[in-house]
Amino acid sequence: MEFLNYSFMQRALLAGCIIAIVCPLIGSFLFLKRLSMIGDALAHISMAGIATGLIIGVNPTISALAITMLASLLIEYLRKHFKKYGELSIAIIMSAGLGIGIILISIGGSDTTNVISYLFGSIIAISPSDLSLIAIISSVVFLITILLYNKLFYITFDEETAKIRGIHVDRINLIFILLTAMTIVITIKVTGILLVSALITIPVATGFQIAKSFRHTVLLSILFAQFNVLSGLICSFYLDWPPGGTIIITSLILLFLVIGLKQLSHR
């Protein structure tokens, strides 16, 4: 338990456990909506937000939050515009994010050399103020998602009937995409931009293998995400591997273990 003696490690573990609650919660609904790739698109756009923050001297998490939330609204608008080809909006925003991000990094010169630490995440990068921000934003995301749970579930598979029942479908879809953007930005601190969607998709894919209902999927994926993050961070500490990559490796090991056990039990 040597790792617990380091305050940066305590903060990383705490931050990891917190995001391992909200990521699978949001991820379960994204999975149900078949929009899992949205996590990647928003993470890419957050790079433009981080670069902007570094250039103008604002906390990059705050600037990333603002720009990613704006981009999420744009995704929702484009998704409505393309209707049957909703995934196009994700691809468009993803390229836009990377394009703008790369230009900003090149313009920023020495100001933006730090961006690399955001690409892959870094355990030592989580400051006490980052931890407070992660805790506050996660609490907001968690609370609103739980309060909207029933309506989100309804909308996800039958928008028409939900509309007839008087549920404000457009408003709730908008709130949900904003919550997704907030979740992505706080997750970047731990996993890095390139790996953020793994915490949103892999635990849900693991829970989905053995769940007996949607609620069961949500609970199981949160449980699996806790295991993935804790084991990933601890391995990352001892092996000196980047935390994001290590969390993904432990997540994948668990996913294939569950798939294997499921197949064995069906024989």
Partner 1 sequence: MDHLALHLNNISFGYSRQKSILNNITLKIAYGQMVGIIGPNGAGKSTLIKIILGLLNPTQGQVFINGTMLNNFKEWSKIGYLSQKAIAFNTSFPASVEEVIATPLNSDFLLPVTTKSVKKQVSEALKLVELSDYRNTLMGNLSGGQQQRVFLARTLVSQPEILILDEPFVGIDENSQQSIINILKRLHHQGITILFVSHDLRWMKNDTDLLLCLDNGTLN
From 47-55, 77-85, 208-216, 257-265, span contacting partner 1 (CB under 8 A): 208-216
> At closest approach, how far in Å is the CB of 238 from partner 1?
36
Closest to partner 1 by CB, 167 or 181: 167
Q: Does 262 bind partner 1 (CB under 8 A)?
A: no
For position 211 contacting partner 1 by CB under 8 A, the verdict is yes
For position 153 contacting partner 1 by CB under 8 A, the verdict is yes
For partner 1, which is the closer residue by CB, 137 or 162? 162
Q: Is 167 a binder of partner 1 (CB under 8 A)?
A: yes
189 binds partner 1 (CB under 8 A): no
Contact call for residue 158 and partner 1 (CB under 8 A): yes
Q: Does 252 bind partner 1 (CB under 8 A)?
A: no
Q: Does 231 bind partner 1 (CB under 8 A)?
A: no
162 binds partner 1 (CB under 8 A): yes
**Residue from 95, 113, 139, 150 that binds partner 1 (CB under 8 A)?**
150
DSSP per residue over the chain, as a string? -GGGGSHHHHHHHHHHHHHHHHHHHHHHHHHHTT-TTHHHHHHHHHHHHHHHHHHHTS-HHHHHHHHHHHHHHHHHHHHHHHGGGHHHHHHHHHHHHHHHHHHHHHHHGGGGTTHHHHHH--GGG--HHHHHHHHHHHHHHHHHHHHHHHHHHHHHH-HHHHHHTT--HHHHHHHHHHHHHHHHHHHHHHH-GGGHHHHHHHHHHHHHHH-SSHHHHHHHHHHHHHHHHHHHHHHHHHHT--HHHHHHHHHHHHHHHHHHHHHHHH-
Task: List contacts with partner 1 (CB under 8 A).
Answer: 31-32, 34, 146-147, 149-151, 153-154, 157-158, 160-167, 208, 211-217
